[in-house]
Amino acid sequence: MLAETCPHNNLLPHSSNFCNNMVHSVPNMSSTTVNDDDFDVRQSSFSAYDPNRLSAEGSPTMLSPWNQSSPFNKSPWYKFDDDVPKNIPQNGLIGSLVREEGHIYSLAAKNDILYTGSDSKNIRVWKDMKEFAAFKSNSGLVKAIIISGEKIFTGHQDGKVRIWKVQSKNPSNHKRAGSLPTFFDIFKASIKPSNYVEVKRNRTALWIKHCDAISCLSMDHTQGLLYSASWDRTFKVWRVDNSKCLESVKAHDDAVNSVVASVDGIVYTGSADGTVKVWKRESVGKSVNHVFVQTLLNQECAVTALAVNKTGSVVYCGSSDGVVNFWEREKQLSHGGVLTGHKLAVLCLAVAGNLVFSGSADKNIIVWKRDGSVHTCLSILTGHNGPVKCLAVEEDKESTGSERKWVVYSGSLDKSVKVWSVSEMAPNLHHMAMNNGQEDVSWDSIPSAKYSSDGPSI
C-alpha cells in the first residue's frame, strides 16, 4: 500500500500509483521555498523535494500550456474583453482568506458561514470573508468537515470523528460535544472478543473504530445518518442522534478516498484501488445494512473524488489521471462520458444546480455546465499557487430564477481559501472566443469544449 511507499499520502487522496502522477509537480505547490515542516510524511526512501528550489522554477506546471499566454488575442481566461457588454454575468474571484498556519484540507459552508480545516489543530470559522471564530481539536490534519443543524462533524488523521456544537447564545462559541465512537461504546465493545476484527496481519481492532485516517464524511440528512470513509478500506455508518455506529463495511481493497450518500438510500464509494462501487441501504427495524449493488468503474489509477447532484441523477468521479467520469442514474447508471480538462489529478468535486466544479493538482478549478448528457467548459478559475484540495458551494443571495449564481469556496495546499462568484448564465469559453473575433480557435490548446457520450463536439 501507499502508506509505506509514498511521501505524499497525508497531503493527497490515497493512491497506489499517485506518486507516478505527482512526482514532478508536488515540489512546486506553493510560491515559497518548501520546508520539511510543511509536509506530514511517513518515512520513505523516495524524495522529490529540493529545499533550495523555489516552487515556480522549472515547474512542469508552469511550463505547460496552462500557464502560457492564451491562443486568443485578448484572453477570456481571466477577464472579459472590454467590448463584451457589461451586463453579461462574470465568473471570477471575490476574495482570498489567508492565514499562514497550514494547508487547507477541508471546507464546509452553510448560511454564509464557512468552516476551514487544515493541518494545524485549528478549525476556523469565517463570516463575510472575515475570521469569525476558531476552535481547536486534539489532533491536527482535519481532513473532512460536515454541518448538520447546530452540530459540526470533523474527520481527522487519527481516525476519529469529533463533534462540535454551536452555542445558541453565542454563535461564535463552539464546544466539543463528543467523538465517534464514544468512549463508553469503545469500553462496552472491548469486553466482547467478537467485536474485534482483523485490520492487518496479526493486528485486530474494534469494528466500531477506524484504524487509519478518515478521508471523507457524508450525511443523509433525511435519515439522520453520517457516513465516514477511511484509508482503513472501510466506511462506517453512524446514527447522529445517539452517536452509535450501526455498521462497518469492508468496501475496497485499498484506501477509501470518498463516500457520498445519495437519494433513496444509495451510497457511492471511490477508492485508491481504482473502483467506484454502489451500495444500497436496507433497514429492518433499528438495524441498517448496506448491500453491494455494482461496480461502476474499475481502472488502474486511483479514484480521488466523488460527487452526486441534488436529485441523485448524475454521479461524478475524479481520478488521479485528471479525468472526470460520470454516470446517469435514469439510464440504469450507464456511463455518460468523460470530462478531460485537467493536466494533473482531480482532487475534489462539487455539484450545484446545473454546474459541476472540479479542483485539481494543476491548481485550477474548471466549471462545467450540464445540459442533458452534454457538459460545456464554462470557465476556468485560476489563481491558486498550489493544488486545489477541497471545494464548497453555496447559492448566492442575489441568485434569481432567471440567473442562478453561486458562491464557490476553494481550499488549497497553498494555505489559502479563495472565494469565487459563478453564474450559470456566464458565456462559455467558446462563446467568449467568438466575442473576441477568434473563429478558427485551436481547441487542442484549451480544455474540453463539450463532451457527451459520443466524445468531444463543438
What CA–CA distance (Å, rounded) separates 388 from 390?
6
State pLDDT tens for residues 216-231: 999 999 999 999 999 9
**Contact criterion met (CB below 8 Å) for 117 and 145:** yes
Predicted confidence (pLDDT) per residue in 146-164, tens digit? 999 889 999 999 999 999 9
Any domain includes 446 = no
Residue 382 falls inside a structural domain: yes
In a domain, 439, yes or no: no
C-alpha cell at 438: 477568434
Looking at the DSSP bridge assignments, the partners of residue 365 are: 359, 381
User: Which of 1, 60, 63, 71 lies closest to 26, judged by CA?
Assistant: 60
CATH of the domain at 397: 2.130.10.10
Tell me, yes or no, whether 65 lies in a domain: no
Residue 280, in any domain of the structure: yes
pLDDT tens for each residue of 331-343? 999 999 999 999 9
* Beta pairing partners, 315: 308, 327
Q: Grid coordinates standing for 23?
A: 512526482
Does 409 reside within a domain? yes
0.85 exceeded by pTM: no
Q: Which of 388, 447, 393, 398 is nearest to 420 (CA)?
A: 393
How many domains, in total, are found in the chain?
A: 1
Least confident span in 188-192, 202-206, 375-379: 202-206
Q: What is the span of the domain harbouring residue 320?
A: 91-432
SS3 440: coil
According to DSSP, the residues that pair with 283 across neighbouring strands are 288
Structural domain includes residue 42: no
Grid cell 458551494 is found at 393
Q: Give the pLDDT score at 4.
A: 35
Query: Is 79 contained in some domain?
Result: no
What residues are paired with 216 via a beta bridge?
A: 229
**Which amino acid is located at 396 in the chain?**
D
